[in-house]
Amino acid sequence: MGRIEVLLDVQNGLDPTKRIACTAVVDTGAYCLTLPMAWRARLGAFPHVEDVDLELADRRVVRGELCSPVRLEVPGLGIGHGLVLFTEMEAPDGRYEPLLGYLALEELRVAVDLVQHRLVKLPYLDLKTVAA
């Protein structure tokens, strides 16, 4: 799969004056929206904060902070509400690389178009039930 980047607006769900606009990399292997801990103060206080352990692709375990609620918007595609995960990130070229993980994609109701390397809006929610 190619690299997909999207413009993203992230707001504190209870204080819309606290916001971050950034470019995020779509990462279907990442849990949720993941931002650098260095940006944490920009979104202000959250009513729900949980310290969590994170297992990285190389199997190292690091600490993170899971916060909610946040409002996510990808211009032209949609708005979602959910979680943000803050963790220490390296910025070798001076730029952080926020990740838009699978929970955030579901919250935004978008899917990855593997042919055209882009996000597409889902036309409806998936609700499958089992008949009794």
pLDDT in tens, 66-88: 999 999 999 999 999 999 999 99
pLDDT of residue 93: 86
What would you report as the CA-atom Rg of the chain, rounded to the nearest whole angstrom? 15
Domains in the chain, number: 1
In a domain, 80, yes or no: yes
In a domain, 99, yes or no: yes
- Which positions of the chain have pLDDT values less than 70? 1, 129-132
Full domain range(s) for residue 102: 5-121
In a domain, 126, yes or no: no
In a domain, 130, yes or no: no
pLDDT of residue 130: 66
In a domain, 127, yes or no: no
CATH code, domain carrying 58: 2.40.70.10
In a domain, 128, yes or no: no
In a domain, 129, yes or no: no
- List of E strands, 27-117: 33-36, 48-55, 61-74, 78-87, 99-100, 110-113
Biggest alpha carbon–alpha carbon distance for the chain: 57
